[in-house]
């Protein structure tokens, strides 16, 4: 069986991108076959990159005939260690957790929140998406039988480090950090992916200004 540890981080990210795209495709009615060229065009990736990425998963598809979308989705699911409902824990205020359900309807992407925590004491006891929100300090008592390894953090900046430390103490080894914060002390053994929105906006602004300057002959 192929080992994801042999794949570069950039490849793992793109494989997850293919997985999400195929999941969407299967929900609306996928064609019988899909080629690496079609995947490349849809996701703005080079065709040879798609083929190289998929080769890490295994010998899937036939040259010139493409892939069976259902088979490729299933193989990607296994390779990435996912399931139909991959369990995650979410940290943020009840209001933020409600907002995330709108922009990130997790059930559409094979992700299932199984525990919710807020830094606000007054949020404890509220129900969001059928789950009762608990105070962040209760993270230490997270049920290990839930099988959670990843947490999504969208709390206020002042609670980021505490959240990471509590998640680590609860056995969580991966965190997706949505709160814009630059400096953190990463708990030992934890992998953290960050969405740095202010930095992304600044770099985008720079690219746009450069593009305008090029057109105007600055």
Does residue 99 come out as left (phi exceeding 0), alpha (psi in the -120 to 50 range) or beta?
alpha
Of the two residues 212 and 174, the one the predictor is more confident about is 174
Residue 205 · residue 198 · CB < 8 Å: no
The confidence band for 218, taking pLDDT boundaries of 50, 70 and 90, is very low
Between residues 200 and 3, the one the model is more confident about: 200
More confident residue, 65 or 19: 19
Chain segment 111-158, per-residue pLDDT in tens: 889 999 999 999 999 999 999 999 999 998 899 889 899 999 999 888
Q: Is the pLDDT of residue 215 over 60?
A: no
Architecture of domain 4-79: Orthogonal Bundle (1.10)
Indicate where the chain has its CATH 1.10.10.10 domain(s). 4-79
CATH 3.40.50.720 domain residues, the chain: 86-199
pLDDT value, residue 83: 67
Q: Is the pLDDT of residue 68 over 70?
A: yes
| Confidence bin at 217 (pLDDT 50/70/90) | very low
Please give the average per-residue pLDDT across 40-61, as a whole number: 90
Model confidence at 16: pLDDT above 60: yes
Residue whose token pair is 């480090």? 161
pLDDT of residue 39: 93
pLDDT, mean of residues 172-200: 86
Question: Quick check: helix, strand or coil at residue 152?
Answer: strand
Q: Are 28 and 108 in contact (CB under 8 A)?
A: no
Q: pLDDT grade, residue 167 (50/70/90)?
A: very high
b/e map 21-52, b = 16+ CB within 10 Å: bbbebeeeebeeebbbeebbeeeebeeebbbe
Mean pLDDT across 84-96? 90
Higher confidence at residue 3 or residue 13? Answer: 13
CATH of domain 86-199: 3.40.50.720
Confidence label for 6 from pLDDT (cuts 50, 70 and 90):
confident
């Amino acid at each position: 069986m192929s080992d994801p540890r042999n794949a570069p981080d950039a490849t793992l990210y793109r494989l997850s991108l293919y997985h999400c795209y195929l999941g969407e495709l299967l929900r609306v009615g996928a064609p019988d076959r899909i080629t690496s060229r079609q995947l490349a065009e849809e996701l703005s990736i080079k065709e040879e990159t798609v083929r190289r990425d998929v080769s890490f998963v295994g010998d899937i598809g036939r040259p010139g005939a493409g892939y069976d979308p259902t088979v490729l989705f299933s193989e990607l699911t296994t390779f990435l260690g996912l399931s139909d409902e991959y369990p995650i824990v979410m940290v943020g205020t009840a209001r933020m957790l409600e907002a995330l359900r709108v922009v990130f309807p997790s059930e559409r992407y094979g992700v299932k929140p199984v525990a919710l925590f807020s830094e606000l004491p007054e949020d404890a006891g509220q129900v969001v998406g059928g789950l009762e929100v608990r105070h962040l300090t209760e993270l230490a008592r997270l049920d290990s039988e839930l099988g959670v390894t990843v947490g999504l953090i969208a709390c206020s900046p002042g609670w980021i480090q505490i959240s990471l430390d509590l998640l680590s103490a609860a056995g969580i080894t991966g965190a997706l950090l949505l709160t814009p914060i630059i400096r953190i002390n990463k708990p030992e053994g934890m992998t953290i992916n960050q969405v740095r929105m202010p930095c992304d906006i600044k770099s985008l602004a720079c690219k746009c200004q450069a593009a305008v300057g090029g057109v105007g002959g600055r």
